[in-house]
Structure 1
Amino acid sequence: MTSTPNPSAGPAAPVRRIRRLPDRETVDRFALHELLDAELVGHLAVVAGGVPVVVPMGYARVGEHVVLHGSTGGGFALRAASTRTPVAFAVTSLDGLVYARSLFDSSMNYRSATVQGVLEPVPDDEADAALLALSERLMPGRAAEVRGMRRKEVAATRVLRLALDDVVMKQRSGGPSEEPDDGEDHAAWAGVVPLVRRWAAPIASGLTPPGTPVPESVRALTTAQSPPATLDEASEPAA
């Protein structure tokens, strides 16, 4: 599959292409932003000391970057940033299971993206805003309800980002592959079982006094019918 880069859709499509089922590849920038804004955890991969390492991490998309944070006390992510070692960051959403009339033809509905590049430290004058954006993505509104970060905590935290320049995205949607004359027994059920996720009722910590009201940030999260808003207007589709 080949595609012509759209200057209005962000950085050009990468040289790497999907070879297995290439028709499922997409270079739609809005679809990429929608996926990254809907998920909370990705997997960061790097080769450290000759050994492949993969670690799940919370993240946020801020504009055309994925923002992560690490400890200044160590960690392979910071070492990779300091040595400009190439990394990969993958995010996947499982949207449903596809039940066909054979196990071979059964599948999943999903959206997945892999970003490759070099981690870079967020400049000091942008680090506080990036860290707040990460907090607001994971726990919207919580920063205004709790104490601010102490100087020691700030000093122990390093904010990193990965540009969305080299991205491959693949997705599948819809029902099972079937035709009226495919020779299958159509009396056997086939279809899709969508996967729907939601937040359950909050559980207070052991040291929270009985009767303490559930804060607005938690109530908003557990009653939300859709993912939190994106962090900028770059995800909005063109009119």
Structure 2
Amino acid sequence: MEKFSITDKTEITRLPKRGVYDKETVYSILDEAMFCTLAYVRDGQPFQIPTGFCRIDNKLYIHGSVGSFYMRELAEKKLPVCISVTFMDGLVLARSAFHHSVNYRSVVVFSEATKVEDQGELYTVLEVFTNKLQPGRWDDVRKPDAGEWKATMVLSFDIQEASAKVRTGGPKDDDDDYNLDIWAGVVPLKIERKEPIPDDVLKPGIAFPDYLK
């Protein structure tokens, strides 16, 4: 199983048994996540930006307006960034307050931005991004025109350094607490797609797409 190299930035030192470095796990968490948080420092001031993203091979991509100050700055100055995603899979309720926890899957990536200039790559990124949000959508919509392409900036980030951290299972209490008359267990959490709601001004006669059923 191919793994990311463990570095000073990616090594899990707190509860190291939860650290995961294999690419398959890291990629699977990134692919499931709709949004990430991108953090960087400018002139000593930290910033973090929540944004949508997609992954193609060993690169992450974000897109936005060519007028985006932070995107231009990341590309021009090659500022180091930290990109993270997290899933909360369950509330872990222990018998003691101290041992309450959560089941989670998280990934942290360290990289720097490169502006995507190749038109073929730009097209592929926006197709993958659109279909990540809603599989099948790209083939059903009007594609960007020349003006919209010109107004769009895409940045890529090589996944240079990355690690995942994962917790699963039930609560871990002190031995003496297992005899307490207190309920303990896990409250599962999940993100769920609901029934789609048609636009109020949807043209009459438009069929409900199969990919939304």
Confirm or deny a common fold (TM above 0.5). Answer: yes
Among 180, 201, 207, the alignment partner of 1:207 is 201
Q: Which runs of no fewer than 5 residues in structure 2 stay unpaired?
A: none
Matched with 1:3 is none
Matched residues, number: 211
Find out whether 1:148 has 2:143 as its counterpart: yes
Aligned-partner SS, 1:182: helix
Q: 2 CA distance for matches of 1:19 and 1:163?
A: 24
Among 13, 16, 22, the alignment partner of 2:6 is 13
Deviations 1:209-233 (A, max 9, x none): 35532222322xxxxxxxxxxxxxx
> Normalising by structure 1, what TM-score?
0.82
Q: 2 CA distance for matches of 1:150 and 1:63?
A: 27
Matched with 1:63 is 57
Residues 1:174 and 1:89: Cα distance change in structure 2 (over 3 Å) = same
Residues 1:101 and 1:11: Cα distance change in structure 2 (over 3 Å) = closer
Aligned-partner SS, 1:131: helix
Q: 1 CA distance for matches of 2:59 and 2:105?
A: 19
Amino acid at match of 2:8: V
Runs of 4+ in 1 over 4 A off after TM superposition: none
Find out whether 1:138 has 2:144 as its counterpart: no
1:100–1:190 Cα contact (<8 Å) kept: yes
CA RMSD of aligned residues (A): 1.8
> Normalising by structure 2, what TM-score?
0.91
Matched with 1:172 is 167
Find out whether 1:27 has 2:21 as its counterpart: yes
Matched with 1:189 is 183
Residues 1:19 and 1:147: Cα distance change in structure 2 (over 3 Å) = same
1:99–1:191 Cα contact (<8 Å) kept: yes
Find out whether 1:161 has 2:179 as its counterpart: no
Following superposition, the deviation at residue 13 of structure 1 comes to: 2.5
Q: 1 CA distance for matches of 2:115 and 2:16?
A: 34
Q: Which runs of no fewer than 5 residues in structure 1 stay unpaired?
A: 1-7, 220-239
Q: 2 CA distance for matches of 1:10 and 1:75?
A: 35
